[in-house]
Amino acid sequence: MKFIIPLLAMIVIALVSCKNNSTKEKLVKEWKLIDIGGKTGSLYQDSARQEMIGNRFMEFREEGEMIATGGISDMQRGDYTISDDGKTIFTSRNGRASDTFLINKLTQDTLIVAIKRAGLELTWVPR
């Protein structure tokens, strides 16, 4: 009996780790922004949205680095981590928390994330 509890704990940790790794395996690549849904006039004005669609790229690297290029801003570098449940991406720039993306859908060919604070949903495809 005293071995069952540690064994169950190890199984739970393994399952959570697998979910995180599965998310990372699908996420690590360069993505192209194809749609910005949500509230108009929120984080981006409509003209900025149109400039970003098709011109904004986000690369997630294996070692936890991310690079965003194109659209309305210069290249931005930062780091990212994935929540234990594999449903949230946390980003930081210069050691400070930046954005939190809630993963609505992640497959090999689609990434849809929500930025709750801005009321936006971003759709990405591999570049």
pLDDT tens for each residue of 65-104 = 999 999 877 789 999 999 999 999 999 998 899 889 999 9
Q: Quote the Cα angle for 109-114-115, to 5°.
A: 135
Residues present in the chain in total: 127
CB 32 within 8 A of CB 127: yes
Contacts of residue 67, defined as CB under 8 A and 6 or more positions apart, other chains included, come to 58, 59, 61, 75, 76, 77
Class of domain 4-126: mainly beta
Give the containing element (helix H, strand E) for 68.
Answer: strand 65-70
**Could you report the per-residue pLDDT of 5-61, keeping only the tens digit for each?**
443 444 444 444 444 569 999 999 999 999 998 765 455 567 777 888 999 999 999
What is the Cα–Cα distance from 49 to 24, expressed in whole angstroms?
27
The full set of domain ranges for the chain reads 4-126
pTM: 0.77
CB 126 within 8 A of CB 29: yes
